Amino acid sequence: MAALNFLRNNGRRNVSAIYFNHGTKHGSEAEAFVKAYCSSQSIPLALGRVSGPCPKGESKEAFWRTERYAFFKRVHYSDDFQKHYLRPIVTCHHLDDQVETWLFTSMHGNPRLIPYQRDYFIRPFLLTRKNYLEKWAESRGVPHIFDPSNNDTDNYMRNFIRHEVVPKALRVNPGLHKVVKKKILDQYNKTMDCF
């Protein structure tokens, strides 16, 4: 909601929205919320949802990510989107997401960062802390709802990383966000050197 509001109020009047329902209890509540907001603001909205249950042995998070990006791809390449929009899909990944991703992938032996751009996706908020986005949205009265599953550390590894691992990593290095921000900038600069 912060990203949508920011883009619309900074000269991007032709913004449309995409919402993907993961089929959770909260997913339907969030879908209704987004539909009502987009309708009230005359924002074109594309809606999608999971195609079925998560395959046995696959994590829900990985399954949802695969399903979500497959839907985004269908929307991006749809005739309507190509005809009227021809623009990137913006996600609201932020610096805290980067720290979680870097820690999570490092513990699996392959430290990675979320790229600024991949195909037609761009992530312009990767250097911005989540709490800054929250304060920004609050100061402008941007409506939002909270997904209670974001506090579930037993069933979702990303939440465990966020609520259990990151605070302990910050005890080891209180400047962890600065370290990751530098890595992002280094990665970005290397990408720009290729052009």
Q: Spell out the domains of the chain, with CATH numbers in brackets.
A: 2-193 (3.40.50.620)
- Is 86 a residue whose pLDDT tops 60? no
Q: Which residues of 102-136 are buried (b: 16+ CB within 10 A; e: fewer)?
A: bbbeeeeeeeebbbbeeeebbbbbbbbebeebeee
Model confidence pLDDT, tens digit, residues 107-141: 999 999 999 988 889 999 999 999 999 999 999 99
Going by pLDDT thresholds of 50, 70 and 90, the confidence category of residue 178 is very high
Q: Is 156 helix (H, G, I), strand (E, B) or coil?
A: coil
The pTM of the full predicted model, rounded to 2 decimals, is 0.86
Decide: helix, strand or coil at residue 17: strand
Banded pLDDT at 170 (limits 50, 70, 90): very high
- Is residue 171 within 8 Å of residue 178, measured between CB atoms? no
